[in-house]
Amino acid sequence: MADGPHDNRVFRFVATLYFLAAAAFSLLALTTQFPDLAAWLPRWAHQALVFLHFPLLMVAGLLESRLSAGDTSTLPTWMRIPVPARATFAFGFAFFAVVFLRTWDLEIGPVDPTPPESWPLISRLFFFFMFTVGMAFANYLAAAGTFVPALRLLNLPIRDVTPLVGVPISAFLGTLLGGAFLGIMSVSALTDTLALGQSMLDDNPMLVLGLLLVPAVVPSLLPRRG
pLDDT of residue 3: 54
Band of residue 215 on the pLDDT scale cut at 50, 70, 90: low
**DSSP assigned state of 42:** -
How does residue 122 score in pLDDT terms, banded at 50, 70 and 90?
very high
Cross-strand bridge partners of residue 76: 223
Distance between CA 182 and CA 209 in Å, rounded? Answer: 29
> What's the pLDDT band for 1 if we cut at 50, 70, 90?
very low
Alpha-helical segments (H) within the chain: 5-31, 35-40, 43-68, 77-80, 83-103, 121-131, 136-145, 147-155, 163-185, 188-203, 205-221
Report residue 132's pLDDT band, with 50, 70 and 90 as the boundaries.
confident
* Closest C-alpha to 68, from 48, 85, 53: 85
Check residue 48 and give its pLDDT.
94
Contacts of residue 217, defined as CB under 8 A and 6 or more positions apart, other chains included, come to 141, 145
Q: Which of 34-43, 173-182, 201-210 has the highest mean pLDDT?
A: 173-182
Contact 142, 215 (CB under 8 A): yes
* The predicted structure's pLDDT at residue 87: 94
Q: What is the pLDDT of residues 169-198, one digit of tens each?
A: 999 999 999 999 888 777 654 555 555 454
Buried b (16+ CB within 10 A) or exposed e, 195-215: eeeeeebeeeeeebeebbeeb
Torsion of CA 185, 191, 195, 200, to 10 degrees: -60
Tally the C-alpha atoms within 13 A of residue 49's C-alpha that lie toward its C-beta.
Answer: 21
Given a cut of 80, is residue 204 above it in pLDDT? no
pLDDT for 113 equals 75
CB 52 within 8 A of CB 142: no
pLDDT tens digits, 61-114: 999 999 988 776 777 788 889 888 999 999 999 999 888 877 766 555 455 678
pLDDT of residue 49: 94
- Tens digit of each residue's pLDDT (9 = 90 or more) over 43-60: 899 999 999 999 999 999
pTM for the model stands at 0.79
Inter-residue contact 201 to 208 (CB < 8 Å): yes
